A and B are shown apart, each in its own frame.
Chain A
Amino acid sequence: MTESSAAVLIVGEVATDRSLRPVSLELVTAGRRLAAAGAPLTALLMGDGLGDAAREFAAAGVDRLLVVDDPVLAATTPEAAATAVAQAIAATSAGVVLIPGTTAGRDYAPRLAARLGVGLAADATDFALDDGVLVATRPVLGGRVQSAVHLLARPALATVRAASFPKAEATGAGPEPEPLAVEFGPNDRRTSVLETAPKEAGPANLEAAEVVIGGGRGLKEPGNFRLVEELAATLGGAVGATRAVVDAGWRPHHEQIGQTGRTVAPRLYLAVGVSGAVQHNVGMQGSDYVVAINRDPDAPIFKLAAFGVVGD
């Protein structure tokens, strides 16, 4: 990486309660690696009332922190967020832009790519630079295989899957947040967020359990969850589920594990008939030991498993 090394912009995200999402700190690590040759690493944070989150982000080891603090961004709506990030790209001449692979990030990043007429790699899990070209690795076909995407146009955009990089540690106070003035147009205001209702919490034992048995569509019918429940009772554990079975109405929503469900990290996670989609894995990959039972030897869940049974 010589003169082709590009300024890197990473975009953080705040949750509805204004806390900094952990993926923001993971992007610091990813961004720092790509800016290794001495290119500046600039961070951007968008929201309404960013004080604490901005301080935490600044302290994570970035060279600059731009903030867009505006009521329009009280929720990260796709059009307003694309407008703000486009402005930050212009202000920093960024050649590489990393965006969280969250629900919001996966909405505004494609809009931004279309607006700028550039390529975007979705849900990347790793990066390399090849002669100054950003190459992103992303899982496809249900996570069974990986594709390398070469982002030939600048700025190169990627959304980054949560839990792909370690979180950057706090380094001290960090740079003073710099407000970035963004002009929002009528289209940036046409999405109104009426309400965000936290999901029903369910029994607290799921996060605390030493053993979690996660059941998926491979269980074939809701009745077969009885076996999972019995096993959970025998092992003193709790029952979890994939979104596929929750959406099918087999299990209550509060048992869902994953990106839009709960995050567990038990001693033992026993996955039964679970394919191991990335959105499920982010909710359980912190488990000490994963055991998987699946009839497909190529199911991605086996990549996490210390013990696997191929069969049904």
Chain B
Amino acid sequence: MNVVVLVKQVPDMNAVRIDRASGKLLLGGQQVVSSYDAHAVEEALRLKERLGGEVTVVTVGPAAAKDALSRALAMGADRALLVETPDANALDTLALARLLADHLRAIEFDLILAGQTADDYESGQVGAQVAEVLDLPLVSSAVELQTEDGRIVVRRDTEDGYQTVSVPLPAVVLASTGLNEPRYPSLKGIMAAKKKPLDRVAAEPEEAVARLSWDEPVVPERGAAGVVVQDVPPAEAARQLVAWLREQKLI
């Protein structure tokens, strides 16, 4: 079973801060593998361990995005492809999906795994659009995968409960966080990754077409937040909270 995993490198969301004075976003932290994509890589490795085959990881991004690929290689992926472009976020999801599809056509695969949604812009579109461009079936919100004569059977987390669906391979499956617990690369894995093939090609995205445009994100008003207690010792914060709850007759 040959699996391709689409991974995106994103800023660490736990380190994102907002500078209230300037209204600017501070994306100061490290660049990491988007969280859902780490689950997709893990699942590809488990399929390989069960069924054999190769795991290829693919990303579209700047030269530095090769760190995301190296991490996947260190986890156990076999090869990697970096489709290099200065800023993947400058492409709309359809341009990105078509670009990915162009490179995926040259790879032999039975299954494409992607994340349900990227941690940064959360569009949740790229995986589904790759499926459409390549004319493949799509199953999202995957929490369990099983293969069965040329098909994949997927348990999905939905509003109505766990839905089990079956689609023929090749197919695109989008990983949810409930799918598995991604492994940490071992020291041995990190050493081995250095010798694995990591190809780089320059991206040639389609001519920009005016399908959509977007503005710089803005920091919304603080909103409903009534009372906010900040910079006080925990015991004092607790006292104020209890006093407020009493006042509102909530306790």
Contacts and interface: CB of A to CB of B under 8 A. Distances in A.
A267 B250 contact: yes
A168 interface: no
Interface string B139-178: 1110000000000010011111111111110000000111
B122 interface: yes
Given A120-B125, A141-B13, A268-B250, A302 B245 contact: no
Interface size class of A (residues with CB under 8 A): 35 or more
A194 B164 contact: yes
Max chain A Cβ within 10 angstroms of own Cβ: one of B176, B217, B231: B217
A268 B156 CA distance: 31
A111 B217 contact: no
B21 interface: no
B4 to A, nearest CB: 18
Given A115-B132, A146-B218, A152-B212, A192 B165 contact: yes
Contacts, number: 240
Given A111-B138, A142-B16, A194-B153, A260 B224 contact: no
B222 A303 contact: yes
Max chain A Cβ within 10 angstroms of own Cβ: one of B17, B160, B251: B160
Contacts of B13: 141-142
Contacts of A120: 93, 125, 212
Max chain B Cβ within 10 angstroms of own Cβ: one of A16, A123, A307: A307
Given A111-B131, A148-B215, A304-B224, A260 B140 contact: no
A153 B16 contact: no
B209 to A, nearest CB: 8
User: By DSSP majority rule, is chain B's interface helix, strand, loop, or mixed?
Assistant: mixed
Nearest to A119: B212
Interface stretch (A32-40, A52-60, A87-95, A195-203): A195-203
A140 B138 contact: no
A268 B245 contact: yes
Interface string A235-251: 10000000110111000
A119 B159 contact: no
A132 B165 CA distance: 40
Interface of A: 15-17, 21, 75, 77-79, 82, 102-104, 106-111, 113-115, 117-123, 139-142, 144-153, 187, 190-199, 211, 235, 243-244, 246-248, 259-260, 267-268, 289, 291, 296-298, 302-312
